[in-house]
Chain A
Amino acid sequence: MNDTGQSTVAPAALVIGGGIAGIQASLDIADAGFRVYLVEREPSIGGRMAQLDKTFPTLDCSSCILTPRTVDVDRHPGIELMTYSEVMGVEAEGDGFKVAVKKKPRYVDVTKCTGCGLCAEACRMHGRVDSEFDEGIAKRSPIYVPFPQAVPLKYTIDPNTCLYLTRGRCGKEFLCQNACPADAIDFEQTEEIVELEVGAVVVATGFDPFDPTKKPEFGYAQYDNVITALEFERLASASGPTAGKIVLGEREINDVVFIQCVGSRDKQVGNPYCSRVCCMYTAKQAHLVHEKLPDAFVTVLYMDIRAFGKGFEEFYDRVREEGAFYRRGNPSEIIRQGDQLIVRAEDTLLGQPVEIPADLVVLAVGMEPRRDCQSMAEMLDIPEDGFFREAHPKMEPVGTGTEGIYLAGTCQGPMDIPDTVAHAKAAAAAAMIRLARARAKTK
């Protein structure tokens, strides 16, 4: 409050992160009539949910239910979408916050770019950079959109792989510039710091998937046909790099083994917690294998099955009825015999060690805090316990202890999509209460 007794809180919110949590929180806050600055560090919003094929237990197509929301964000007059931007500082000022946002140079004028993609096709490095969105299964150009439904549908030049930006030269002339009919390519762009004033902050920075090279016994780094669940999602997706076919090179896939709890419930890797989503996404993936490869033999190696949500146990029943063999035992290692992978485990119900042949092994990697969670916590001055820590585990699930800063989604802990959406709506409600109170005072 200032000395006239009026609130100094700007009727606006900052939302950090443009995954489903940030999208939902932004839409709710903006729908309530407050201004929203949605900051996303990647070139597009959409987050992890955009990468997924189907969702459990209803088998809704993930991008089909997500895309209407991303489009709504783009069109919403109350939301200022700042993609390819990073929050550099959040300072409490009066009752609100002063925020510094770095807009990274895209080297593409977004007011001119029509998203036609001719630049990417023309680029000398076309098809030679691993696509992050496709988990490295497909390739992209250094000038790219992460995926066809990207919002905004504007191209970005990746400074780490563009020949000109890394080496200072790219042939005699810029092929992207020549190809662009809109004259949108601009190598002169520089980063820009934007200052914002907001009354509330919603942190929706998401999670990182567990890095399976930390469990070297599974040979993820050695064997091409040991993949993560996210890679499987890209293989299964009809709009993915294999058009939905489960294929890995020339190999015919007959035996598929899923391994649960990779990097979850595991003190050896410092993740004692359950990631909450892997049991069900694995059940869904087992279903997808049967749908796409009806003759495949699917084995799911598990310790316990946690099917606790609405419709979850029923879905688990269905997947087993389809023929997925749930075998109790946490496998210890994967080795190669000839050109066949062998998963070694104890079937604890038989009480016998077993060697299970596999053409494809899918690791159900768990959720981890973002690598930069700690520095983010310091910048925002909020507590963390690996993930960001809620103010009270029961009564304050979105608060942080710092007035005006709220948590949404998996930055607070592992959650599935429905829980994330609910959590994000709760964070939005908390932010709106604060903004509405401030507005009432100014009237």
Chain B
Amino acid sequence: MTSQTLFEKSEKGQRAYSLPKSWEELKTYIPDAFLKRDGDIPLPEISELNLTRHFSGLAHKNVGIDNVFYPLGSCTMKLNPRINEVCASLEGFVKTHPLAPEETVQGNLQLIVELIEILCDLTGMTAGSLLPNAGSQGEFTGLQMIAAYHQKNGDLLRDEILIPDTAHGTNPATAAMSGFKTVNFKSNKNGDVDIEELKRLISPKTAGLMLTNPNTVGIFSPQILEISSLLHSAGALLYYDGANLNPLLNVARPGDMGFDVMHINLHKTFSTPHGGGGPGSGPVLCNDKLKDFLPTPYVLKRSGRYTIEWKKTSSIGSIATFHGNFAIYLRAYIYAKLHGNYGLRKIAEVAVLNANYLKSALGKYFTIPFSQHCMHEFVLQADNYIDRDIKALDIAKRMLDYGVYAPTVYFPLIIKECMLIEPTETESKSTLDRFIDIIKQICEEIQTNPTIVKTAPHTKSVTRLDEVRAVKNPILKHVT
């Protein structure tokens, strides 16, 4: 299969486009020569058939959850129901302009208000905003709200955010972007927060703690109430990274655990498609302490009609150009409505069951660093074969040959040769059994034919790619 780019497939004079016909007067409107573009636009010329074949060809070199089992930890790769897509393409939604008069977009505004209510019910929070365009933007929003809260209280010394070493990389990056100093702390031997270490680090400078619970090794912290009480009694707030909310749907709520503000990755828990890297949606939810600081525009129901507040006293202000990724959170709304509270609980239960089933079966082949029951995901330490020069990465690449996607590797950073596995609730036992079998076969191969693992994959459109070369000699676009 060729890897020629569209630019290389260009043929002079080919075209796919058509434009509405012009009329006579229009021809008199010629842009000022002083402002005009001098150079050519170096885009390809290509017919619609060649265009569509190009992208169809590229689709063959990609895999999604529709094609294969995708046990990518912390990413919650569940089925993306097509009803979501059908709903998102309804003309009444698609054609609405973000600055349309309120009375002409009552349906959109109702959806926004109701989705926030649904998410608040599920998380034990009291208010929220759908504006953040992804999880990390939700984190940023939440931390700006925490900053505003302390500022309003005249608590100006609080400039530190505590972050455990198991955290997603976005947590410390967001804290830094929001103007906080990050204070990282080590987890204990159970993969949980080390309470003594936490106590040592909490100070009058602590603005808040960012925590994922269950965390990125898939463990729910049994000490969560103690943690939140420690932070609160020191005058600090708790941020909940909702990337791992899937196992808690209608089981337990971050608000009840003592978290003050959080985000949800709708492209994970609520199944809006991940699209090869977005668009996502990362609504932020909070309790009464923080609700005045929520970003604008803020949608609310007032005497039977829905209205938008573009500016609001105390609000931290803007977080997206307009209303965030509307057509994405719209999909989460229908997903929640289809399930109802009953179905959402079932998601959590089966997600946790599937993960524990895999975990108990895979313990035969790899070290399981944390033995307690996991939530929706778990870590393996794939260092059994280091002496044979087989690393987690090699095993992951070999999985691709067996027709599954690989787990998340080398994250979280606290586990050597880490593999983070999240099967999600939508996978069947037979798929999980097949995955167990694949791991077994790869382990046998490591004994009998390690080279085939070391040099994997062998069945994809390319073999192992040279990432070092890409950094040393960056080619970042088509060059004529």
The answer to whether A binds B is: no
Question: Which B residues have a C-beta under 8 Å from some C-beta of A?
Answer: none
